[in-house]
Amino acid sequence: MSWYRNAVWFVKGLREYTRSGYDSASKHFCPADVEVTVAGRSFLVTGANSGIGKATAKELARRGGTVHLLGRNKERAEVAREEIVTETGNQNVFLHIVDLSNPKEIWKFAEKFKTEHQLHVLVNNAGCMVNNRELTEDGLEKNFATNTLGTYILTTALLPLLEKEADSRVITVSSGGMLVQKLNISDLQSETGMFDGTMVYAQNKRQQVVLTEQWAKAHRNIHFSAMHPGWADTPAVRSAMPEFYQKMKTRLRTEAQGADTILWLAVSAEAVKFPSGLFFQDRQPVSTHLPLASTHSPAEDEEKLMELLEELSQKFQCPSPG
């Protein structure tokens, strides 16, 4: 069935995920949904140095929010912050340098952040697509470490902070690529078989959708959502998928178009009228499975994923002082 899923997904992508798909969908957008002020609200955006993350952070800053940029590269993060402050006039933009493939570093950051800041909205945007199997210094497969475990630890660690606030939200930037993958909990770190970075990434993105659904069930006071930004022209796409980029570059969305639904989920009153835990594309909830694709998983596999991630995450948590 994999050939069928891939073919259906690509045809769907050409129709919906490209710039023309955005142009068609945006005819039904209500501009007032995002023409709001968010002064007094605090946002944390991961992967904010460039691409969709930076575009999202810029729009949040433009609306008066306090914006925390989380990035791995200090020099690029400083350039991004300067650009955002200059363009928006908002000085409440702060940098945090964290490698989201390093679990200990994430735990350390989160514990410190909780003592110093408020948080109303977390945007899990950072991700990577490493095309050859590469291990981190902790012996973790790098795609899994960044996309799945890193997202799990950061969100889990910050849940107590989010629980304190009214109208708190968590938005995880997934991908339509997850539609070609069924959750596989037996090989989370791609230790068996031939390594295909694109499919590993797609599996991680399926895992993120499952995380979103599971968190929504467990934490009723927070609104969780996952989303697909479409196929956008970003530095990550150019570097990780050069052949795809060359074929599709004239049809790709802009970074701002890719960020639009993230912004809508982060600031609009309309977004939280939908149930928590859904998967969005162009401001609308969409199915997490292709028709006849056999990608549904039993509930016990989805619960087991949470157990495995919790068990693994705890291995990297430093004991609290005292």
The three-state secondary structure class of 165 is: coil
Q: Strands 42-46 and 278-281: what pairing? A: unpaired
| 300 vs 19: CA distance, rounded Å | 38
| 154 vs 198: CA distance, rounded Å | 24
Q: Among 17, 152, 201, 245, which one carries the catalytic annotation?
A: 201
| 306 vs 214: CA distance, rounded Å | 8
Give the pair of three-digit tokens for residue 225. 């959502």
Give the pair of three-digit tokens for residue 53. 């993350």
| 83 vs 89: CA distance, rounded Å | 10
Q: Strands 284-285 and 278-281: what pairing? A: antiparallel
| 59 vs 48: CA distance, rounded Å | 12
Alpha-helix residue ranges (DSSP H) falling in 185-254: 197-218, 235-240, 242-248
| 59 vs 37: CA distance, rounded Å | 11
Q: Order the strands of the 168-173 sheet from edge to edge.
A: 93-97, 66-71, 42-46, 121-124, 168-173, 222-228, 278-281, 284-285
Residue that is written with structure tokens 């037996």 in the block? 186
Burial 131-140 (b: 16+ CB within 10 A, else e): eebeebeeeb
**Which amino acid makes up residue 53?**
G
Asked about 245 being catalytic, the answer comes back as no
Q: Active-site residue numbers?
A: 201
